[in-house]
Amino acid sequence: MADIESAGFTPAAFASSAADRLAKIALPPPAGSMGNNGDSFGFGTALEKKIDEQQQSGSSSSRAVAEMEKEGLCHPNLFGDEKAREKKWVAKLFKLRKSLMRPSY
């Protein structure tokens, strides 16, 4: 603060060196391009990568695609029995309502 308030202070434009540091960071190659050791950089599940490899090599992947579409986002066993889930949910709501209706002294 003392330097800024002194008579010899001259304002200067701010120059950041962050761009120089960012230029030195090695980024992965864009999707579809080859890396240094010949492998491509991409995201996806093992099944999606397998399908991509099969499509690039020219082999049929219809079975794998059908298997992935059949499964969906979550495995059906994660949801369980619908009636049992609904019964538990109603019991939880009833318990919550009961605790909220209880007078607090």
Q: How far apart (Å, rounded) are the C-alpha atoms in residues 44 and 49? A: 6
Residue 93 confidence class, pLDDT cut points 50, 70, 90? very high
Write out the residue range of the structural domain in which residue 97 sits. 44-105
Q: What angle do CA 58, 56, 47 make, to 5 degrees?
A: 100
Q: How many domains, in total, are found in the chain?
A: 1
Residue 36 lies in a domain: no
Residue 95 lies in a domain: yes
16: left (phi over 0), alpha (psi -120 to 50) or beta: beta
Residue 3 lies in a domain: no
Residue 21 lies in a domain: no
- Please tell me the predicted confidence (pLDDT) of residue 97: 93
Q: Which residues contact residue 9 at a Cβ distance below 8 angstroms, ignoring those fewer than 6 apart?
A: 3
Residue 32 lies in a domain: no
Q: What angle do CA 48, 52, 38 make, to 5 degrees?
A: 115
Give residue-wise pLDDT tens across range 24-79: 777 666 655 554 555 555 667 777 777 777 777 765 556 666 676 777 777 767 77
Residue 13 lies in a domain: no
Residue 7 lies in a domain: no
Residue 39 lies in a domain: no
Q: How far apart (Å, rounded) are the C-alpha atoms in residues 41 and 54? A: 17
